Amino acid sequence: MGRSRLGASIAFALLLSGREALGCSRVTYDSGENDGNRIVVGRSMDWLTPTNSSIFAFPAGLARNGSAGTNSFHWTSKYGSVVTTAYDISTADGMNSQGLTVNLLYLADGDYGKRNLSIPGMSIAIWPQYFLDNFATVAEAAQAVYGEDGEPSFQVRTAALIPGVPTLMHVAVSDASGDNLILEWLNGTLVTHHGTQFNVMTNEPDYDSQLAINQYWAPIANISLPGTDRPADRFARLAHYVDVGPGSRDLVSALATTAGMIRAVSVPMEPINIDTPNITPTLWRTYADTKDLTYYYESATDGMFFWVDFSELDLSNKGQTMQLPLVGVNWTDRVGDMTQQFQKATPFAFMPTSD
């Protein structure tokens, strides 16, 4: 697309330089018995500047390198996936052929600790892709992240492309049963939350603190909810919406319900206020239908709204990497079913770590 990898990498790091500069929200919605308990995962991307995203379709059988230098984690993808990138150097969001979804969100309190070269390393940019490549269920993923000794199977590493500018994120994984796994690195330690009840995530503070804050709001949520765009307030509202949300009768109503919740915690397009750097506009949203395996993308800055039907893609190990560009195209060309509009491509190189 004519963008230098160095420039994209620097932009990616700069956007994460403020400890409260960015935000996102995500939710796992269960449509209920009338729709066969369809699970739809929705998320928003709130960002300071355009993420120059593409949609990539990766087949199974790709050899992966953790992009972490010495003793990088290696694997070969077991499942194909469709992902939304950030700057074509990181997987920001996606779903695999088994209905496993991953959302990468900003976390100001993330701390990955010092590099331990005795443990395989993995760049934070490829961390979400690892789950999409390897697991069909959250239970499988939750078991794999720890070894038999109870220690993490790998160490996630960030990148400081500009001195003092870390890349800080946490990850949410969901599957077609509605199970969820939240993963955070805090003070150099991997902290996880596993269960269907962990169906909402935003940003700072850490997840345990978010749950504690929500305990205050939950009993009075039908009377009063916090209304700002701060992550803790978005968490409380989204937790209430998914708790009281109605069941759905089909895909259309399930998608509409999920979209309604995510739009309700999105931030409108408005000038950035230097006095409130933690509030940035929502740029795009995605909705992953894990039952019919359809991935939806909605732009918040123009009229793009399209979907990708997994059944019409070859995500087997005989398939090819495909790309749907979103930059430099008219939004009217990205409306409706875009499955047949993908172009053959080379897998992008994930942002390497600095240690």
List active site positions.
Answer: 24
- Rounded distance between C-alpha atoms, residue 44 and residue 103, angstroms: 10
CA distance 124 to 353: 8
344 bridge partner residues: 322
- Alpha carbon 86 to chain centroid distance? 10
Bridge partner list, 121:
72, 155
Packing angle of the helix pair 251-264, 231-244 (nearest 10 deg): 150
166-203 CB burial, b ≥16 within 10 A, e <16: bbbbbbbbbbbebbbbbbbbbeeebebbbeeebbbbbb
Q: Decide: helix, strand or coil at residue 93.
A: strand
Spatial CA neighbour of 89 closest among 153, 16, 141, 144: 16
Of 106, 231, 100, nearest to 170 by C-alpha is 106
Q: CA quadruple 94, 96, 98, 103: dihedral positive or negative?
A: negative
β-bridge pairing 335-337 and 305-309: parallel
Tell me if 319 sits within 8 A of 311, measured CB to CB. no
